[in-house]
Structure 1
Amino acid sequence: MFQFIFWIITTALSYMLAPKPPVPKPASLEDFDAPTATEGRAVPVIFGTVTVKSPNVVWYGHLKTAPNKS
């Protein structure tokens, strides 16, 4: 019986004394690297394989929706 009570007390103490994680800040638009469509923006000239950090999308296909058939 003593071991069970001791276990309950130590579990409660470890829960109360554990460090609390910080609350994360909500994501803002600056956190995303989504493509933009800005007129007058420079078009990079790329040779080889590189990562473009913030691409400028000029045109993106014919977007259409289709119903799910299940």
Structure 2
Amino acid sequence: MNFLIQIAVMIVAAYVSAALNTPPKPKPAALTDWDFPTPDEGTRRAIIFGDCWVSSWMVLGVGNYRTRQLKLDSGGKK
């Protein structure tokens, strides 16, 4: 009978610890999180205009990456 009390206390303790535990906040995405294939020094670079499938594509540059949150206005002019 004593083991039933211990199991009940263990279950209550698990529920209390789960209820009091705050979930971890996710880290914001950073440019280092992405793994773009980048060219090595001396690799030839092709410039393609329009739509085209290339077997060995590389990312030569990533621009306009925002690191701060955008501030939105409350609405239109009044």
* Coarse TM-score class (shorter-chain normalised): 0.3 to 0.5
- Give the structure-2-normalised TM-score: 0.35
- Give the structure-1-normalised TM-score: 0.37
